Amino acid sequence: MAGQGFFGRTAGRRRGTVLAGLVLAGSLLTGGCADGPDTTGREVQRTLDARAAAVLRHDEAGYLAALDPSTPQLAAAGRAEFANLADVPLSSWEYRLTDVRRSDDRATADAELRYRIDGYDTSPVTAERRLELAERGGRWYITADRPGHRGGQQLWQQGDVEVVRGTHSLVLGVGQEPARLRKIAAEADRAVPAVSAAWGGTWAGRVVVMVPASLDAMGRLLGAPAAQYRGIAAVTTGRAPAPGKASPAPADRVTVNPEAYGVLGDLGRRVVLTHETAHVATRAHTSAATPLWLSEGFADWAAYRGTGQDLRQAAPELRRAVLRGDIPAGLPTDADFRFGGDAGALGRAYEGGRLACELIADRWGEDRLRAFYRAVGAAPSRDGAVESALDRVLGTNPERFTADWREYVGARLG
């Protein structure tokens, strides 16, 4: 799992988000069974294909037909989930098996659920699922459908999904007033053109935002303890391309923490959604070769660009360090962006990344900043990616750039 993030704290302090890239892959592997491994895999896939087809044609009976008929509560839960999903505009829905393990008339299957939202996703969102199945009368039925390894719930498993369409956005919410979802859609609509101006490159120009009912529900969506996201206003998730490889525009989701986001002022909400939308726009050029100081710094730079915000107010943690004569010796490392530790250090990491991008934009120009970002993401590996891009795009080296950055931090925040 690769991840980038934007740090944030609640009212009166700096807000932010964290980006987590999900990289899922696999091929069909089946365990031994009496009638041969391929037979079980094919039969389980047939059950899943029928379920997927029922979703796309809005066929409740077909959707429920995949569930074990001997367990009535499954039908009730399946009926509710199907109803919750009804308003989500889907263009595709499929399951791809990655592993099947059979024991007599029972089987456990690992699968990728891959779906696209019509008009918004050019490639599918992928979610790992762990399915339990039972064979009855020569047919396999689902007895349980849970998140796979490191996976989370789907929004429609948490309640009825309310759908709001913006000009450049689609907002999906559970347990939220429609008026609040419309306001978030309007805020996302403002973020998209701001990011297009900052990024300057081709991207989808639209964003999908999910708004769960609570912080706890957010944690379940992301498959992580809710406490990890306390004070985090939003999170962007999506697949990152492999280093040095071309990739179609992947599907991303921005997930809003309704509690932390709710205490933000107008500028805070603007910064958060613009930052997250910047991650969506740059995803195809962000890879494992991209350090967090660059991905987070660029998103922060894009978010504050054009706001007129005083940098000394927008970078309070780093400014405090400067005022006490403690300018960091080097650019933030990926480890500096981990949550759960010293909040001040985390704030300085985000602010330091932004100042590095500010430096590039000020000294070499915004076009060079964009070119530098793309060059780093296109490198075949993390080793040497930044060094090569500094040389080829900016005509400098890590030592000079770090010294320039430290001088810039002191001058801008002193």
In this prediction, residue 24 has a pLDDT band, given cuts at 50, 70 and 90, of very low
DSSP state of 391: I
- Please name which of 154, 105, 155, 104 lies closest in space to residue 128, comparing C-alpha atoms: 154
If one counts every other C-beta atom within 10 angstroms of the C-beta of residue 77, the result is 14
Question: What is the CATH T-level fold of the domain 37-149, as seen in this structure?
Answer: Nuclear Transport Factor 2; Chain: A, (3.10.450)
CB atoms within 10 A of CB 324: 8
Average pLDDT of the segment spanning 170-175: 98
What CA–CA distances, in Å, run from 294 to 36, 290, 300, 393? 50, 7, 10, 15
Of 346, 330, 316, whose CA–CA distance to 413 is shortest? 316
Whether the predicted pLDDT of 27 surpasses 80 = no
pLDDT tens readout for residues 111-136: 999 999 999 998 999 999 999 999 99
- What pLDDT does residue 64 have? 97
Please tell me which residue, 250 or 64, carries the higher pLDDT value. 64
Tell me the C-alpha distance between 281 and 192, whole Å.
Answer: 9
Average pLDDT, the chain: 89
- 2-22+158-413 and 37-149 have identical folds: no
- pLDDT tens digits, one per residue of 263-284: 999 999 999 999 999 999 999 9
Residue 102 has pLDDT above 60, yes or no: yes
Mean per-residue pLDDT for 142-153?
92
- pLDDT computed for residue 374 by the predictor: 97
Domain boundaries, the chain: 2-22+158-413, 37-149
Does residue 20 surpass a pLDDT of 60?
no
Q: Model confidence over 373-395: pLDDT tens digits?
A: 999 999 999 999 999 999 999 99
Mean pLDDT of 206-230: 94
pLDDT tens-digit series, residues 227-268:
888 888 999 987 766 555 555 656 799 999 999 999 999 999
Residue 3: is its pLDDT beyond 70? no
Q: Which CATH number fits domain 2-22+158-413: 3.40.50.620, 1.10.390.10, 3.40.718.10, 1.20.272.10?
A: 1.10.390.10
